Structure 1
Amino acid sequence: MKRIAVASALSVAISAPLQADDGSGTYAFDTKGQHQSINFKISHLGYSWLYGRFNDFDGEFTYDAENPSESSVTVTIDPASVDSAHAERDKHLRSEDFLYVDEYPEARFESTRIELDDDNPKEADIIGNLTLRGVTREVTLDAEMLGHGEDPWGGYRMGFEAETELTLSNFGIPMDLGKASRTVELFISVEGIRQ
Structure 2
Amino acid sequence: MKLLTCFAFVAIMFATTISADEYKVDASHSMMAFKVKHLGVSYTHGRFNDFKGNFTFDANDTSKNSISIKIAAKSIDSNSAKRDDHLRGKDFFFVKKYKTLSFESTSFKKKEGSKNEFIVEGTMKMHGKKKTITVDAKLVGEGKDPWGGYRCGFSCSFTIKRSDFGMKYMIGGISDEVHITADVEGIRK
Distance 1:179 1:93 in 2: 15
1:61 matches 2:68: no
Question: Which residue of structure 2 lines up, in the alignment, with residue 88 of structure 1?
Answer: 82
- TM-score, normalization: structure 1? 0.84
- Provide, for residues 2-25 of structure 1, a one-character-per-residue CA deviation record: whole Å limited to 9, x for no partner: xxxxxxxxxxxxxxxxxxxxx941
Distance 1:68 1:27 in 2: 15
Structure 2 contact 66–106 (Cα < 8 Å) conserved? yes
Question: Which residue of structure 1 lines up, in the alignment, with residue 101 of structure 2?
Answer: 107
- TM-score, normalization: structure 2? 0.87
- Ranges in structure 2 where 5+ consecutive residues have no aligned partner: 1-18
Matches within 5 A, 1:124-163: 124-163=118-157
Question: Which residue of structure 2 lines up, in the alignment, with residue 46 of structure 1?
Answer: 40
Question: Which residue of structure 1 lines up, in the alignment, with residue 25 of structure 2?
Answer: 29
Distance 2:150 2:123 in 1: 28
Q: Which residue identity lines up with residue 46 of structure 2 in the other structure?
A: G
Aligned with 1:181: secondary structure? Answer: strand
Distance 1:132 1:110 in 2: 12
TM-superposed deviation, 1:188: 0.4
1:75 matches 2:69: yes
Question: Which residue of structure 2 lines up, in the alignment, with residue 181 of structure 1?
Answer: 175
Q: Which runs of 4+ in 1 moved over 4 A?
A: none
Structure 2 contact 111–118 (Cα < 8 Å) conserved? yes
Aligned-residue identity in percent: 40
Structure 2 contact 20–64 (Cα < 8 Å) conserved? no
Distance 1:111 1:50 in 2: 28
Structure 1 contact 45–177 (Cα < 8 Å) conserved? no
- Provide, for residues 1-59 of structure 1, a one-character-per-residue CA deviation record: whole Å limited to 9, x for no partner: xxxxxxxxxxxxxxxxxxxxxx941000113xx00001100011102210110001110
- Provide, for residues 33-87 of structure 1, a one-character-per-residue CA deviation record: whole Å limited to 9, x for no partner: x000011000111022101100011100001233123200000000110000000
Aligned with 2:84: secondary structure? Answer: helix
Count of matched residue pairs: 172
